[in-house]
A = this chain, B = another copy of it.
Amino acid sequence: MTTQPLPLPDNAELLRLDHQVCFSLNAAARAFGGVYRDALKDLGLTYPQYLTMLVLWEECAPQPVKALGERLRLDSGTLSPLLKRLEAAGLVVRERSAEDERSVVVRLTRAGEELRERALPVPSLIATATGLSREEAHTLRALLEKLTGNLDTAHGGR
């Protein structure tokens, strides 16, 4: 047995550790936001708008809002106004699906497709800014995906 004068190996100690697990993650996410803000300023996109465009650039076919939401982990409460802004910027059009009148499909305009060219240099800018090696990035991503999966089931699937 160890000679320990410490009176709290318990919750009170955790209340400090806690300050670092979740918090460093939050800080990193916001730091990422700052760098992307700089990189995307010229394109006139915000970071979430950029992520949305990424999905659209990947899947050339028009996407229902629902599918976009699943890909981005966002609900219509967030996506509807965001897509409206992209539409106002002339990058996408939204139109009711013919087969299912409930669904709204999002399609890139010519301008939206062309913007892809100007966005090509962005990822390498960001990759440089992270200063992580390929292996570190891979480790990080694996941990984060495990974490997200665990947290999701804890929260109730959703």
Q: A residues engaging B (CB < 8 A)? A: 11-12, 14-32, 34-36, 38, 51, 54-55, 57-58, 73, 116, 119-124, 126-132, 136-137, 139-141, 143-148, 150-152, 154-156, 158
Contact between chains at B12 and A141 (CB < 8 Å):
no
Q: Tell me the number of copies of this protein.
A: 2
Q: State the CA gap A14–B55 with chains docked (Å).
A: 13
Chain B, Cβ-Cβ closest to A51? B23
Q: A25-B28, A139-B139 are in contact. Are A130 and B155 (CB under 8 A)?
A: no
- Give the residues in chain B near A35, CB-CB below 8 Å: 151, 154-155
Q: Is A32 a contact partner of B22 (Cβ separation < 8 A)?
A: yes
Task: Report the separation of the CA atoms of residues A59 and B1 in the bound assembly, to the nearest whole angstrom.
Answer: 32
- Are B28 and A144 in contact, with the CB atoms below 8 A? yes
A34: which B residues are within 8 A, CB to CB?
151-152, 155, 158
Check B143–A15 contact: CB distance below 8 A: no
Task: Tell me whether A139 and B143 are in contact (CB under 8 A).
Answer: yes
B143 and A136 within 8 A (CB): yes
A-B contact pairs, 7 of them (CB 8 A): A21-B140, A23-B51, A29-B29, A31-B151, A34-B152, A129-B154, A139-B139
Closest B residue by C-beta to A152: B31
Q: Is the CB of B28 within 8 A of A32?
A: no
Q: Are A28 and B155 in touch, CB under 8 angstroms?
A: no
> B14, A123: Cβ atoms under 8 Å?
yes
- Further pairs besides A18-B122, A19-B54, A131-B150: 17, Cβ < 8 Å: A14-B127, A17-B123, A18-B127, A20-B141, A21-B126, A21-B141, A22-B32, A23-B51, A25-B32, A25-B144, A27-B144, A29-B29, A130-B150, A131-B147, A132-B143, A132-B147, A140-B144
